[in-house]
Amino acid sequence: MSDNDEKLARGLDLVNEVYADPALTTQMAGLADQPYTSETIRHLFADIWGRPGLSIRDRRLLVIGATTMLGRADLLEVQLRGGILNGEFTDEELDEMVLHMAFYAGWGNTTALNRAVGEARRTSAEMNKNR
């Protein structure tokens, strides 16, 4: 197996671990020949998310904070759903996260986080029913 193939496999394993969504992993694997997706899998996941020093939950919290600053409910929902499916956050922690971020990211941007938390809770519950 080449180093490139090994990084692809390791990256896809991490995608699956981070998002707990085999359908997403399969979708990304099908697009692995495209430069953007290839770099996302091989570099962002295999090299960056796979580094020692921070847990997946720690890295996810950093991404949630940064993404809240952007006001991107769509990206937040994916991260939050992965965290919920992986058992990383309690309902109390999710609610606290929203309140805490309001003071750092602004109330407007945190509206996107609040919306994403609700959507992630709903979609996670649906996915758990179908497992």
Sign of the dihedral defined by the CA atoms of residues 104, 49, 14, 25, in that order: positive
Residues 67, 118, single domain; the answer is yes
31-47 burial: b if 16+ Cβ within 10 Å, else e: eeeeeeebebbbeebbe
Per-chain mean pLDDT for the chain: 94
Count the domains in the chain.
2
Sign for the CA dihedral angle at 79, 85, 86, 88 comes to positive
Domain range holding 22? 3-49
Residue 71 sits in the same domain as residue 120: yes
64 and 85 assigned to the same domain: yes
pLDDT band at 118 (very low <50, low <70, confident <90, very high): very high
Q: Quick one: pLDDT at residue 24?
A: 93
pLDDT beyond 90 at 9:
yes
Same domain? For 36 and 98 the reply is no
Whole-number pLDDT of residue 61: 97
Please check whether residues 83 and 121 belong to one and the same domain: yes
| pTM, two decimal places | 0.90
pLDDT tens for each residue of 16-65 = 999 999 999 999 999 999 999 999 999 999 999 999 999 999 999 999 99
Q: How confident is the model at residue 2 (pLDDT cuts 50, 70, 90)?
A: confident
